[in-house]
Amino acid sequence: MKVAVIGATGLVGSKMLEVLAERNFPVTEIIPVASEKSIGKKIKFKGNEFVVVGMDTAIATKPNVAIFSAGGATSLEWAPKFAAAGITVIDNSSAWRMDPDKKLVVPEVNADCITKEDKIIANPNCSTIQLVVVLKPLHDKYKIKRVVVSTYQSVTGTGVKAVDQLMNERKGIKGEMAYKYPIDLNAIPHIDVFLENGYTKEEMKMTNETKKIMGDDSIMLTATCVRIPTIGGHSESVNIEFENDFDVQEIKTLLANTPGVVLQDDVDNFIYPMAITAHDKDDTFVGRIRRDETQANTMNCWIVSDNLRKGAATNAVQIAEYLLKYSLI
């Protein structure tokens, strides 16, 4: 089982390698791939060193699967070339997510849509992944009408440059800015570019990707996405309106028994999901579940997940695990 990781020297690519090792994915050969300036460098995987190669070299080695995390432009150019060589691509960028011919997959939600013919599979946006893992069982039971979500997203979602900016600000050091404004002691209601409708691209990703993954265009979703000075976890305040009424305890039991979801909801003992406790974990955590007392058939909850793991690397590796389990690669 040969596995290529494109963008292996980046923040997410490094996490991909870490998760592949931790989950004991049966890799017989790892092929780290990066930009020209990184070719020849060495990376470690399971205690061994591997030399970083370029795209053409990676294709020539004929990996079974290639996990891309090197940006949309790179994916648009190179994913079809890997696919044409018979290599299954799992792409972590936004390049293919809304392509009607490409599957957008969260394994706990819709992995059964994948076929052997799918040579480019899209990994959803980090904030969408953790949301739909919780929404899916609720939608199946109560039928979701509308979702209002506000996110509180980690600087790791932007990359190393943003982490450096935060740490520099905490030390009082002037350095390169990933954001237009200081991030420490701040909350910036701006993730990705602004669109003509006044929403950001990140907010519209959540709207459009949720409908595609859930397979239901009738779900209405509106989002506000905010960057905050945390590391290792995205948090979401979510208001969900159903067609059918519900029992709060029944919802807690349902979510507690959902694969990939951990219920943390004991306010008497101050137990609820937090970014600091979700860090470096693969699960999606949900708590603060309560009825919205202003509107019928509506609930509020708080969802947290590590954006580099379940929001990116772990979800991609889980897709690869599914492909392997059902002999799709």
Active site residues: 126, 234
SS3 230: coil
Per the rule left: phi > 0, alpha: psi between -120 and 50, beta: everything else, 148 is: beta
Exposed / middle / buried, residue 39 (Cβ in 10 Å: 0-12, 13-18, 19+): middle
Token pair 């974990």: residue: 281
Q: How far apart, in whole angstroms, are the C-alpha atoms of residue 325 and residue 329? A: 9
SS3 23: coil
Q: How many helices (H) and strands (E) does the chain have?
A: 10, 14
Nearest to 247 by CA among 288, 291, 200, 212: 291
Token pair 């990994």: residue: 123
**73 CB neighbour count, 10 Å cutoff:** 10
Q: Which residues does residue 263 pair with via DSSP β-bridges, in sequence order?
A: 286
Q: Which residues does residue 3 pair with via DSSP β-bridges, in sequence order?
A: 30, 65
